[in-house]
A and B are shown apart, each in its own frame.
Chain A
Amino acid sequence: MNSSLQEIKDKIGNNDDFFFQRDYLGEFPVVLMAFKTLIDLPKTKKMLQTNINNPFTINKTLDEFLTGIGEVKEQDSKEAISSIMEGKLIVYLENIPKFVIVEPVSKILNRAIEQPVNENVLQGPLNSFTEDKDTNIGIVRRQMNSDNIQVISLAVGNDQKKSLSLLYLKDLTNIDFVHKLIDQIKKNQDKELNHLQDLSKILGFSPWVAISKYHTTELPLEAVQFLKKGRVILFQDRLPFALVLPSLLWDIFTLENDRNYPLPLTIAIRGVRIIGLLMTLLIPGLYVALVAVNPEVLRIELALSIAQSREGVPYPALVEILMMLVILELILEASIRLPRSIGPTITMVGGIILGQAVVEAKLVSNLLIIILAATTIANSTVVGFQNSLTIRLFKYIIVILASIYGILGIVAGMVLVSAYLAKIKSFGIPYLNLKFAKDGIKSG
């Protein structure tokens, strides 16, 4: 037996789903190799057979015939193995030191293009990205339909190969930025890529940044619009969303679908999101500040009614609000973990317990429940789940500062958050860049 054939067999032959069969391709003895779990064997064989019996192939030479059925490669067991892992069929010629990588009929291991799961679309296109990277690129091409789109694919990882694809528009995207990005990925091509933290490592971002450096979207409409704004889209195989680079502050407030409404409504909707962000950040802190540190800011009527609602509450305002906020975080977290059928139970139990029983037990004040409800609702208005997580984290900083310095603490907290945002840069592009689309990457 051929040495390189033996090598392949040694390496992956122990797998029970490894398919290894001697056969004849016309008059040549060949070995067919593939994973049964990745390809549809009967159909693939049938396809090969049709190729052989094709009347046009009869007069061809062997080389011509081989190029006809797939990619002909010189003996290289490593490449053969990685092709098998990718789900290709290898036709190994026993007499000539060559093998052919045949594109087989693959098993359908991907789900179909479905409606988005993490984002809701109102009156907009309903398709969304799937796990298959190539499908995603296809969707983008279909959505945009322009010869301007440039796709660059890179494989990352030593042990397991993961492929990344970069999409950008040739004439709109700053080429410097694209080159920087590609260079950075190529530099770290041997690193493992399992999740976005790994990707951050590859792209050289600090792991301690509290804000997601990628804007993620499931919606082709949004992704295409980002392309038009001169951003780069990154598709990672097996990740059903597009990663938009660089991510900017304004992305938190805008959805391209907003533009499917009249302009005044677009502006109003975006205004609501800005209010939502500010409310999430400020209201819990404001409660602590007004109740514990600066009650003189309140109108006397309000002060009296708050004092009344807090009558008999044993904890100071800070402990009270932290306790309830933590319970709320637990509910949010639990409702993600739970199967969809039990999900409503959590909502009900959480609603009843938090809303009614806690107040009646005099553990917290009425007003706090209102504050919590407003905070949670407001928190969900921003675009992108990863952004709402960031805001959820930031609000604790403001709560703690407010409990110490009152209104002044809230202002200080806002300054702190703003300064932090101002510090963040990716590839030289500041996070607070608001006019990215218009004048490109000047500072990049």
Chain B
Amino acid sequence: MKTYKLAAIALLHFCLLFILSGCWNNKDINHRVLPVAMGISKQDKEYKVILKIPEPHQGTTQIKIVSATGTTITQVVDKISMNMESSVDLLHVKVIIIERETAEQGVKDIISGFMRARDVSAKALVVICDEDLDEFFSKIKKTTGPEGTTLFDFFEKNAGWNPQIALTRIWMVYRSIHSYTHDVAIPLVKSGKSTMVEQIGSAVIKNGKMVGEINSDETLLVNAFNGEGIQGRIEVMDHASVLIISDRMEHKSKLIEQKPYLQSQINIKVVLLETRGDPSTKVIKKELEHLLTNRFNLMFTKFQTSKADILGLGQFYRTQISRSQLKFWRSKYYPHLKMDIKFHINIQNEGYLKTSSD
């Protein structure tokens, strides 16, 4: 008798498991639409959202571009979802493409919305597009192969990423909006003529607004400074071209009379690839040091005038400036920062040929 009672209770609990779980809301993967890229532009007061959706179709994948407008992004997505045969699932969105004008007006609302709603993964990349979004997406549709993930592969570290492309994710932009001392660079792209995407450089974002632009070479330095790794990058000079294989940095920060000073040393290991004439390693070293230092200083002055701390130098002063003063890092301290940067080059390998050292 007792066993029957127990069995009945167990059965009841098992049934409750199904009734109470709400598992009928689960949709199988083939009934979900999985957009890989999302384009956002703001026109007057309305958002226009474009979704790039790879769709399996008789053995191959076809790209579908869907767009709609509305007052909020969620409303637009909902609209698209309503009009499509399967429901839109934003969890796989890997790239958010924002139109340049929209970025210049500020992306604070968009990014906060993503962070709040959790629909889009906070790891999704943010990209700024330097042309009309409709045009960009229609060109992409023409040039994309059948895999459907090309736009994402362009930024993927184990696929098409290069060290001169900035990698910035949603959470980093969100951090830059709210942090006193850290800004970000967002890759700036447009559709290419022969390739799908053409990288122009990077947009300098300060407090969620685009305030400037840097080119690819400068982006590389930013990446190096942020420790993203610049392996495999070829640097061309007057007398030689070299392959950078590793970099290491040391920083010393000082605050004297409310003026920040920073001493940085960047050690770079290179491999010699090609020479023009007969330069000695000493000459090559000197030339490379000179080139990099100049490039860095030029870029840094640009940052200082736009008051955007992309390198995150304010992080070094977090312990030296009080919290209440840190609020003014960008306006009061950062423009007066004296930076003394030194590049130290180490030629690791000269290839199969000997090069004189003097």
Say if the beta carbon of B61 comes within 8 Å of chain A: yes
Given A307-B56, A311-B56, A317-B28, A296 and B61 touching (CB < 8 A)? no
Contact string, A291-309, partner B, CB cutoff 8 A, digits 1/0? 1110110001101101110
Cross-chain contact A292 with B92 (CB below 8 angstroms) = no
Residues of A with C-beta under 8 A to B149: 300-301, 304
Cross-chain contact B61 with A304 (CB below 8 angstroms) = yes
Q: Among A291, A308, A404, point to the contact of B28 (Cβ < 8 A).
A: A291
Report how far A296 CA is from B149 CA in the complex, Å. Answer: 15
Cross-chain contact B18 with A310 (CB below 8 angstroms) = no
Q: Among B21, B54, B91, B148, point to the contact of A295 (Cβ < 8 A).
A: B91
Report how far A104 CA is from B29 CA in the complex, Å. Answer: 74
Say if the beta carbon of B121 comes within 8 Å of chain A: yes
User: Closest approach, in angstroms, between the C-beta of B208 and any C-beta of chain A?
Assistant: 26
Residues of B with C-beta under 8 A to A290: 29
Q: Among A296, A301, A308, A403, point to the contact of B91 (Cβ < 8 A).
A: A296
Given A300-B149, A308-B61, A295 and B56 touching (CB < 8 A)? no
Given A295-B34, A300-B94, A300-B152, A306 and B21 touching (CB < 8 A)? no
Say if the beta carbon of A405 comes within 8 Å of chain B: yes
Number of A positions contacting B (CB below 8 A): 23
In residues 387-404 of chain A, which contact B (Cβ within 8 Å)?
A: 400, 403-404
Say if the beta carbon of B89 comes within 8 Å of chain A: yes
The chain B residue sitting closest to A316, CB to CB, is: B28
Say if the beta carbon of A313 comes within 8 Å of chain B: yes
Report how far A296 CA is from B92 CA in the complex, Å. Answer: 6
Given A296-B92, A304-B56, A304-B149, A311 and B30 touching (CB < 8 A)? yes
Say if the beta carbon of B147 comes within 8 Å of chain A: yes
Say if the beta carbon of B224 comes within 8 Å of chain A: no
Cross-chain contact A307 with B18 (CB below 8 angstroms) = no
Residues of A with C-beta under 8 A to B36: 300
Say if the beta carbon of B286 comes within 8 Å of chain A: no
Contact string, B296-315, partner A, CB cutoff 8 A, digits 1/0? 00000000000000000000
Report how far A337 CA is from B28 CA in the complex, Å. Answer: 37
Say if the beta carbon of B290 comes within 8 Å of chain A: no
Cross-chain contact A303 with B34 (CB below 8 angstroms) = yes
Report how far A405 CA is from B59 CA in the complex, Å. Answer: 31
Cross-chain contact B148 with A304 (CB below 8 angstroms) = yes
User: Closest approach, in angstroms, between the C-beta of A397 and any C-beta of chain B?
Assistant: 10
User: Closest approach, in angstroms, between the C-beta of B210 and any C-beta of chain A?
Assistant: 28
User: Closest approach, in angstroms, between the C-beta of A290 and any C-beta of chain B?
Assistant: 8
Cross-chain contact A404 with B18 (CB below 8 angstroms) = yes
Cross-chain contact B56 with A303 (CB below 8 angstroms) = no
Cross-chain contact B23 with A404 (CB below 8 angstroms) = yes
Residues of A with C-beta under 8 A to B17: 400, 404
Residues of A with C-beta under 8 A to B18: 404
User: Closest approach, in angstroms, between the C-beta of A288 and any C-beta of chain B?
Assistant: 9
Say if the beta carbon of B259 comes within 8 Å of chain A: no
Residues of A with C-beta under 8 A to B30: 307, 310-311, 313
Say if the beta carbon of B282 comes within 8 Å of chain A: no
Contact string, B164-175, partner A, CB cutoff 8 A, digits 1/0? 000000000000
Report how far A399 CA is from B149 CA in the complex, Å. Answer: 31
In residues 141-163 of chain B, which contact A (Cβ within 8 Å)?
A: 147-149, 152
Report how far A300 CA is from B36 CA in the complex, Å. Answer: 8
Residues of B with C-beta under 8 A to A295: 29, 32, 34, 89, 91-92
Say if the beta carbon of B26 comes within 8 Å of chain A: yes
Residues of B with C-beta under 8 A to A317: 28
User: Closest approach, in angstroms, between the C-beta of B89 and any C-beta of chain A?
Assistant: 7
Residues of A with C-beta under 8 A to B91: 295-296
Contact string, A304-339, partner B, CB cutoff 8 A, digits 1/0? 101110110100110000000000000000000000
Residues of B within 8 A of A (CB): 17-18, 21, 23, 26-30, 32, 34, 36, 54, 56, 59, 61, 89, 91-92, 94, 121, 147-149, 152
Beyond A300-B36, A303-B92, A310-B30, 20 extra complex contacts between A and B, CB < 8 Å: A292-B29, A293-B23, A295-B29, A295-B34, A295-B89, A295-B92, A296-B92, A296-B121, A300-B149, A301-B147, A304-B149, A308-B59, A308-B61, A311-B30, A313-B30, A316-B28, A403-B23, A403-B26, A405-B23, A406-B26
Residues of A within 8 A of B (CB): 290-293, 295-296, 300-301, 303-304, 306-308, 310-311, 313, 316-317, 400, 403-406
8 sampled A-B residue pairs with Cβ under 8 A: A292-B26, A295-B91, A296-B89, A300-B34, A303-B29, A310-B30, A404-B23, A405-B21
Of all A-B residue pairs in the complex, the 7 with the closest CB atoms, nearest first, are A308-B56, A296-B91, A310-B30, A404-B23, A404-B21, A295-B29, A292-B26
